[in-house]
Each structure stands twice: as C-alpha cells, then as structure tokens.
Amino acid sequence: MRAVLLGPPGAGKGTQAVRLVERYNVPQISTGDIFRKNIKEGTELGRKAQEYMNSGQLVPDELVVDLVKDRLLKDDCKNGYLLDGFPRTIFQAEQLDKFLEEQGQQLDAVINFEVGYDTLIARLTGRRVCKSCGASYHVVNMPPKTEGLCDRCGGELEQRKDDTKETAVNRISVYEESTAPLIDYYSKTGALKNFDGETDPDQLLEEIVSVIGE
Ligand code: AP5
Ligand code: MG
C-alpha cells in the first residue's frame, strides 16, 4: 500500500500513521520526524531545517525532495509506505509523481483529514511528545497514565518547539497557502479520499480501512 496522509498541522496524521503502520505493515515516512531527528543529532540538514521549523515555515523544497526519494528506495519500502507530511507543495507532489512513474508505481490513496480551526489549535497547543520514543499524547484528549511520563517507555514528555499558539497559527496559514492546493491536485487524479478527522482515532482507522481496503 502506497499512501499519502494529507491534512493541516494537528489533523492527526501522526496519530493515524501509528495505527496504519501496524495494520498494513509498511513504514511511516514522516519528513517532520526526519528533520527533528537531524536537529537532535546536530547534523547539517538539521541545522538548515531548524530555523524554518521553529518559525512554522516550510523547509525549502530542495532540502526535502531528494531526501524523500532516497528514503523511498530503501528495502523496507518495497511493499509500500505511508508518507506523513510529504508532499506539502505542488512542486513536491509533481516530483513525487515523476519518481513514481520512473519506478512504475502509483499511489493507492491520498488520505485527507478534515478538522476545524479551533480543534487544530487546541490539539497542537495541548500535544506532548515523548523525548525518548517520540510517542504522542494530548493533555486533554489522550493524557498519559502518569502526568508528564510516557506510557510506553516511561520517558519524559515535552512540548514541541513549534506547538506554541503563535507558531501553530502560522503553520496553519502556511498550510492554507502552500499545502491545501494539493486537495484539488489529488482530487483530479482520483486518489483523494476525505475523512472527518474529528472522529475518535480508533474508529477513524476502521473507516479508512473500509475505504482503502485491507
Ligand atoms: P510535521 O512534523 O509534519 O508537522 P505538521 O504537519 O505541522 O503536523 P503535526 O505533526 O503537527 O500534526 P499531525 O497531523 O501529525 O497531528 P498529530 O497526530 O500529532 O512538520 C513539522 C515541520 O517540519 C513543518 O512545519 C515544516 O517546517 C517541516 N516540514 C515537514 N515536512 C515538510 C515538507 N514536506 N516540506 C517542507 N517542510 C516540511 O495530532 C495532534 C494532536 O491531536 C495530538 O496531541 C493527538 O493526541 C491529538 N489527536 C490526533 N488525532 C486525534 C483525534 N482523532 N481525536 C482527538 N485528538 C486527536
Ligand atoms: Mg505529525
């Protein structure tokens, strides 16, 4: 299964990706996670991406496209993958199409999550992530069993630098301008499947599976 998860910041792409990875046994490729890992490790890519991410801007296309293409050529992507946070611009989508054509492949689905503005802001500002394993929580919607600690590994929870109200607002407007046009782009190819992202995450998984198939 080759699929793209599309939707504004806080739509629940990462939350569904965890469930879909388990169901379909394909890797999640999150460009945001790749950049955050590079920032943590202090690589040159991380250094270049950091400023854009912290202010809620997109990282320039030239730093993203080759990175994703290289990742998609790895062995674990042979049976498919779940792209989370890529493509995010029309240019990135066109580059992905070119790549797929070269590989003789196509996307099975573009899974688009629709979520209202106020919900997005509440989700982003309330999100907490584990410093050690990256698991994601929400102070109200999905609180950990012990406040401040990860259920999975006991690691400390922290707030992402770009999850302040100001940066969240900025990220949503960048989404509207640069990424929302992909909805139209993919509706023309017939790959687009829309979902109500305000549904309970486990129920949403079942809805997705019923639309895109087992
Ligand atoms: P990225 O990490 O991709 O962030 P994003 O798109 O802003 O999306 P988020 O991760 O914030 O939200 P999500 O949809 O995954 O929601 P989640 O499941 O966590 O990108 C970060 C930055 O990297 C970008 O700003 C950019 O600078 C750069 N970047 C990345 N890719 C790029 C690219 N291709 N090109 C250029 N730049 C790029 O859920 C959010 C919260 O809501 C959680 O707390 C969760 O518990 C809760 N929640 C989720 N679903 C539900 C539900 N159904 N019900 C109740 N609560 C829910
Ligand atoms: Mg995410």
What digits encode the pLDDT tens for the residues 111-136?
999 999 999 999 999 999 999 999 99
Task: Calculate the average pLDDT of the chain.
Answer: 96
User: What sign does the dihedral 121-166-84-75 (CA atoms) show?
Assistant: negative
Q: pLDDT at position 94, please?
A: 97
Q: Confirm or reject: Cβ of 85 under 6 Å from ligand 1.
A: yes
Q: Confirm or reject: Cβ of 7 under 6 Å from ligand 1.
A: yes
Confidence of residue 170 (pLDDT cuts 50, 70, 90): very high
Catalytic pick among 36, 88, 123, 128: 88
CA distances from 88 to 34, 61, 149, 188 (A): 15, 9, 32, 17
Q: In the chain, pLDDT over 70 holds for what percent of residues?
A: 100
Which residues partner with 2 through β-bridges?
81
Residue 71 annotated as catalytic: no
Mutate to test the pocket of ligand 1, among 38, 138, 198, 202 (most ligand atoms within 8 A of CB): 138
Is the omega angle on the peptide bond into residue 201 within 30 degrees of 0, that is, cis?
A: no
CA distance 162 to 159: 8
Q: In the chain, pLDDT over 90 holds for what percent of residues?
A: 99
**DSSP symbols for the chain:** -EEEEE-STTSSHHHHHHHHHHHH---EEEHHHHHHHHHHHT-HHHHHHHHHHHHTPPPPHHHHHHHHHHHHTSGGGTT-EEEES---SHHHHHHHHHHHHHHT---SEEEEEE--HHHHHHHHHHEEEETTT--EEETTTB--SSTTB-TTT-PBEE--GGGSHHHHHHHHHHIIIIITHHHHHHHHHT-EEEEETTS-HHHHHHHHHHHH--
Confidence of residue 143 (pLDDT cuts 50, 70, 90): very high
Mutate to test the pocket of ligand 1, among 4, 5, 13, 57 (most ligand atoms within 8 A of CB): 13
Q: Return phi, psi of residue 2, to 5°.
A: -110, 115
Q: Ligand 2 being an ion, which residues bring their Cβ within 5 A of it?
A: 14
Under 8 Å between Cβ of 15 and 120:
no
| Residue showing tokens 């209202």 | 116
Confidence of residue 179 (pLDDT cuts 50, 70, 90): very high
**pTM for the whole thing?**
0.96
Catalytic pick among 2, 36, 123, 171: 171
User: Does pLDDT of 137 surpass 80?
Assistant: yes
- Could you tell me the distance, in angstroms and rounded to a whole number, from the CA of residue 136 to the centre of ligand 2? 9
CA distance 21 to 125: 25
77-103 mean pLDDT: 97
| Residue showing tokens 């792409």 | 13
178-195 mean pLDDT: 97
6-21 mean pLDDT: 97
User: Does pLDDT of 86 surpass 80?
Assistant: yes
Q: pLDDT at position 47, please?
A: 96
Q: pLDDT at position 214, please?
A: 76
- Could you tell me the distance, in angstroms and rounded to a whole number, from the CA of residue 180 to the centre of ligand 1? 14
